[in-house]
Amino acid sequence: MKVPEIRPPVELVVASGKGGVGKSTLTAVLALTLAEKGYRLVAVDADAEAPNLHLVLGVEEWSRVDEVREGRLAYILDDRCTRCNICAEVCTYGAVEVKDGRYTINPYICEGCLTCSLACPPKAIRYRFRVKSGEIRVAETHYGFTLVSAETMPGRPNSGKLVTEAKNLGKKLLGPSGVLLVDAAAGIGCQVVSSLTGAQLVVLVAEPTLASLSDLKRIHKLTKHFGIAPMLVINKYDLNIDTLPLIEEYAEKENIPVIGRIPYDPSVPKAMAEAKPITVYDPDSPAAKAAKSIANHIAENVLPHWRAWWAKYRPRKPEPYVPIILRPGQDNSRKHA
């Protein structure tokens, strides 16, 4: 197969809502397959609070590490503090703690929003600026493509900003054509929003559990806000055969093509322990074969004609995000308003 030049680059995100369903395992196989077939490719680990893709890919050293120092951290000057408690009242995050009559700010919670310092009557609150919020790292993998990985400092906010910066670096390294492959975080918060912003295609990964189905619905709704065309992979599909139809029914109802099912396979954790993608650790294992055929399908049938794919499976009607704003004297807070 002649690999098409994808210009401008396409952004393909692997996401799931629920954690631990196999995003990084699948992303690794997909990246290897695309690289093998000759696609220009940069992989981005966009799970800055729990980055793991480099471990699956066996990355041993980073060729580049950029510190990101965008954080702000409030602290209280005790000799100026009048114990008025206003900072504790205004902090949205509950970061102000009182211990033995002393007011302190928990550095693992503080967002650096400045509100407490603006509200403090005796001006007793100062900020440390340029606090390290995390790192963005680059590695050349053993498999012929570049990995960009974001990692936040434990307990620090705004991991979404790091993800955006990691993606921007990934795009820069990729250049004018190719595939940006993004491994998203669990959940539907700022990191995932940053991962999906600007993407055209998403591979949703689910397992046949009620929990995964619930999270799938939420992440799918988010991808609809962004007008992204989804496809679904069901992992560990044989662990709970009775819940499998619920996932498939949802996919059918929502026009999400199911592009593959991966069986539960004890080789997967063993491959992780060896820091190898499953298709390298044991190419003949059932999970490796299934993941490989999914990756081949994406490489051969989706990406070469991604615009047609997008047109076929994009959300039928736009479902933009609509904020619920309450004006004084108005109550439209109910969910089904």
Binding mask 112-131 for another protein (x = CB under 8 A): xxxx--xx------------
Question: Between residue 222 and residue 241, which ones bind another protein under the rule CB under 8 A?
Answer: 222, 225, 239-240
Interacting residues with another protein between 285 and 304 (CB under 8 A): none
Nearer to another protein, 210 or 308 (CB): 210
Helix (H) or strand (E) holding 10: strand 10-15
Q: Where are the alpha helices (DSSP H) in 47-101?
A: 53-56, 86-90
Selected from 122, 189, 245, 283, the binder of another protein by CB under 8 A is: 189
Q: Is 109 in the site for another protein (CB under 8 A)?
A: yes
CA distances from 83 to 98, 108, 116, 128, 145 (A): 9, 22, 13, 21, 56
Tell me the pairing of strands 41-46 and 64-68. Answer: unpaired
User: Nearest approach, Cβ of 187 to another protein (angstroms)?
Assistant: 3
The answer to whether residue 94 forms part of the interface with another protein (CB under 8 A) is: yes
CB under 8 A: which stretch of 17-25, 76-84, 277-285, 300-308 binds another protein?
17-25
- The span of 1-9, 77-85, 271-279, 293-301 binding another protein (CB under 8 A) equals 271-279
Q: What is the CA radius of gyration of the chain?
A: 22
Interaction with another protein in 203-222: which residues (CB under 8 A)?
A: 207-211, 214-215, 218, 221-222
Task: Give the footprint of another protein on residues 143-182 (CB under 8 A).
Answer: 152, 154-157, 159-160
Q: Are 179 and 89 in contact (CB under 8 A)?
A: no
Within 8 A by CB and 6+ apart from 279, the residues are 29, 32, 33, 288, 291, 292
Q: What gap in Å lies between CA 9 and CA 18, rounded to an integer?
A: 28
Question: Residues 207-233, buried b or exposed e (16+ Cβ, 10 A)?
Answer: bbbeebbebbeebbebbbebebbbbbb
68 three-class SS: strand
Q: Closer to another protein at the Cβ: 247 or 295?
A: 247
At closest approach, how far in Å is the CB of 34 from another protein?
A: 22
Nearest distance from C-beta of residue 259 to another protein, angstroms: 21
61 makes contact with another protein (CB under 8 A): no
Binder among 3, 90, 173, 258 for another protein (CB under 8 A): 90
